[in-house]
């Protein structure tokens, strides 16, 4: 399936049904189709050929997302650009991915003006919401362009090129094919509850997980409610107002949701599936969510190179058959998807028996076609015939996948392997801890010492010695942090992930070892 097939499938189920909703205004499936046909024709008129790369730089916006389907209709490749990145990084991405056109929102005009001189490959600039000196408005660009149906076949199956996070170097371009996204959509539809026509609430960026989750929703003719700003109060109001059935948040926003004063008073009984993922979640906070939000929490684990559905934990798997909470599963990432093979591999390429810890490797039509123009990185990620995730984990006796750490984050202290995620899970059981990061620092005695940096809950005070004792009582003295720092905020990526590299660098700087 092409990206347009998801839209067209939804239109077959009801052309006049709402497709995209934002700020109280609906775009029906038929309207989004017409926009996509006009955008495709305008791209053709602008010299965009099948296989060319077209970037979209915008916050969450209904018209920006509608343009994505026009890119697909023209046989071009969608390149979502993260609006939270700095100009230098986005300039690198636009150039490295050979983008020939850029559709952007005027909010990011200063960034586009700053980048433009370094981007000679850009043939076309279009501003979504207004005309400006360097680009026509989208309405002017589409003036006189007919909306007769158009579908150009692409030269290959690449549907989008998504940038990796860039936290360990320059972003790489992940080539995701129609087959990859079809597999992801199939896994979503077969693995999670969908009763009736869904209403999906998108608060997290549509450039990331929240965006591709729209595709399976569209196959059922569902409505996608788009929130332009990540405000938890607006999120709660939208769930109640639109009778939202499905949504997604990363753990950092879930922690904010659980602490929000309006949560208890909000009607949440329309929810069928509340996905969480993109980073490890605290098992203690997850159990809290099962009570405060309801028995609808649903985990997904994937990465840009194998989107979303490497493993899955639908709401029912959070509970035993008798209805009690399955606490032993809450720190897992669910079971491998039915169209995904997952195994553990050692450094020599040997697959390990169940229960042994190793690098998580994957085989599936979910896995990317490769990194754009980077054969060396593609070969490294796919050595021994499996996709290498860079995560360390194991499969338990019930086939639940447990991710114990990123390979680069494992700490070796006193000859013992200490997995930072396990220490963080213990820290997050403390009622006054909002978030945490655990890293290893050089130590003359231990080789590496375990260091925890704590972000307290708003208005709470935490004591370093008390935190150490709290963790030691739960996971023992070897894994307990030898050093605890209290920071008001942890450094985060543009999508809210804690940047352990920055945490470690700041700790080294403060100690004078950097």
Instruction: Note down pLDDT in tens along the chain; length 514 residues.
Output: 999 999 999 999 999 999 999 999 999 999 999 999 999 999 999 999 999 999 999 999 999 999 999 999 999 999 999 888 888 889 999 999 999 999 999 999 999 999 998 999 999 999 999 999 999 999 999 999 999 999 999 999 999 999 986 544 688 999 999 999 999 999 999 999 999 999 999 998 887 778 899 999 999 999 999 999 889 999 999 999 999 999 999 888 898 999 999 999 999 999 999 999 877 788 889 999 999 999 999 999 999 999 999 999 999 999 999 999 999 999 999 999 999 999 999 999 999 999 999 999 999 999 999 999 999 999 999 999 999 999 999 999 999 999 987 777 778 787 677 878 889 989 999 999 999 999 989 887 777 899 999 999 988 989 999 999 999 888 888 789 999 999 999 998 766 778 888 998 899 888 876 5
Q: Which helix (H) or strand (E) holds 161?
A: strand 158-163
List, in sequence order, every residue forming a beta bridge with 443; answer none if it has no partner. 447
Is residue 429 within 8 Å of residue 288, measured between CB atoms? no
Longest dimension (CA), the chain: 74
Collapsing DSSP to helix, strand or coil, 349 comes out as coil
Q: Helices marked H in 106-250 — which ranges?
A: 109-116, 138-141, 178-191, 209-212, 214-219, 232-242
- Convert the pLDDT of each residue in 128-161 to its tens digit: 999 999 999 999 999 999 999 999 999 999 999 9
Collapsing DSSP to helix, strand or coil, 405 comes out as strand
| Interatomic CA distance for residues 79 and 68, integer angstroms | 9
CATH number for 28-155: choose from 1.10.10.10, 3.30.870.10, 3.40.50.980, 3.20.20.70: 3.40.50.980
Strands 306-313 and 335-336: antiparallel
- Convert the pLDDT of each residue in 371-413 to its tens digit: 999 999 999 999 999 999 999 999 999 999 999 877 777 787 8
Residues in contact with 117: Cβ distance below 8 Å, sequence separation at least 6, in sequence order: none
Q: Do domains 28-155 and 180-406 have the same CATH topology?
A: yes
| Interatomic CA distance for residues 112 and 269, integer angstroms | 43
- Convert the pLDDT of each residue in 341-369 to its tens digit: 999 999 999 999 999 999 999 999 999 99
State whether CATH 3.30.70.260 applies to domain 410-511. no
pTM of this structure? 0.85
Domain ranges within the chain, ordered by starting residue: 28-155, 180-406, 410-511
Strands 411-413 and 416-418: antiparallel
- How far CA 164 is from CA of 174, 423, 447, 493, in Å, comes to 7, 26, 32, 12
The CATH class of the 180-406 domain is alpha beta
| Interatomic CA distance for residues 122 and 99, integer angstroms | 6
């Amino acid at each position: 399936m092409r990206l347009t097939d998801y839209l067209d499938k939804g239109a077959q189920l009801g052309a006049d049904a709402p497709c995209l909703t934002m700020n109280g205004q609906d775009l029906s499936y038929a309207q989004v189709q017409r926009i996509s046909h006009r955008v495709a024709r305008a791209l053709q008129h602008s010299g965009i050929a099948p296989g060319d790369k077209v970037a979209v730089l915008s916050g969450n916006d209904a018209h920006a997302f509608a343009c994505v389907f026009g890119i697909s209709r023209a046989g071009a490749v969608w390149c979502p650009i993260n609006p939270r990145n700095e100009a230098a990084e986005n300039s690198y991405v636009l150039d490295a991915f050979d983008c020939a056109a850029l559709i952007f929102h005027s909010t990011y005009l200063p960034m586009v003006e700053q980048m433009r001189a370094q981007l000679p490959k850009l043939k076309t600039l279009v501003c979504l919401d207004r005309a400006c000196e360097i680009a026509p408005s989208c309405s002017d660009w589409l003036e006189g362009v007919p909306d007769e149906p158009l579908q150009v076949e692409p030269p290959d199956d690449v549907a989008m090129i998504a940038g990796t996070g860039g936290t360990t170097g320059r972003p790489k371009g992940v080539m995701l094919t129609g087959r990859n996204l079809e597999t992801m959509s199939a896994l979503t539809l077969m693995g999670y509850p969908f009763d009736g026509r869904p209403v999906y609430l998108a608060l997290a960026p549509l450039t990331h997980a929240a965006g591709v989750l729209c595709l399976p929703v569209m196959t059922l003719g569902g409505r996608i409610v788009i929130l332009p700003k990540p405000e938890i109060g607006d999120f709660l109001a939208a769930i109640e107002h639109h009778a939202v059935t499905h949504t997604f948040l990363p753990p950092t926003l879930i922690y904010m949701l659980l602490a929000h004063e309006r949560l208890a008073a909000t009607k949440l009984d329309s929810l069928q599936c509340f996905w969480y993922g993109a980073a490890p979640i605290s098992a203690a906070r997850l159990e809290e969510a099962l009570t405060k939000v309801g028995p609808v929490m649903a985990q997904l684990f994937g990465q840009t190179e194998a989107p979303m559905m490497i493993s899955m934990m639908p709401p029912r798997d959070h509970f035993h058959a008798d209805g009690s909470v399955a606490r032993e599963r809450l720190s897992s990432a669910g079971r491998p998807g039915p169209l995904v093979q997952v195994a553990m591999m050692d450094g020599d390429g040997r697959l390990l028996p169940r229960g042994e810890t190793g690098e998580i490797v994957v085989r599936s039509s979910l896995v990317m076609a490769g990194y754009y123009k980077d054969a060396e990185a593609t070969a490294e990620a796919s050595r021994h015939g499996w996709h290498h995730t860079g995560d360390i984990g194991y499969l338990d006796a019930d086939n639940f996948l447990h991710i114990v750490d990123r390979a680069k984050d494992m700490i070796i202290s006193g000859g013992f392997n200490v997995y930072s995620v396990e220490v963080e899970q213990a820290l997050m059981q403390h009622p006054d801890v909002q978030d945490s990061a655990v890293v290893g620092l050089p130590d003359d005695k231990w080789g590496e010492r375990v260091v925890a940096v704590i972000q307290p809950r708003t208005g709470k005070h935490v004591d370093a010695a008390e935190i150490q004792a709290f963790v030691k009582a739960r996971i023992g003295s070897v894994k307990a942090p030898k050093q605890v720092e209290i920071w008001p905020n942890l450094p985060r990526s543009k999508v809210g992930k804690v940047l352990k590299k920055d945490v470690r660098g700041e700790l080294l700087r403060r100690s004078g070892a950097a």
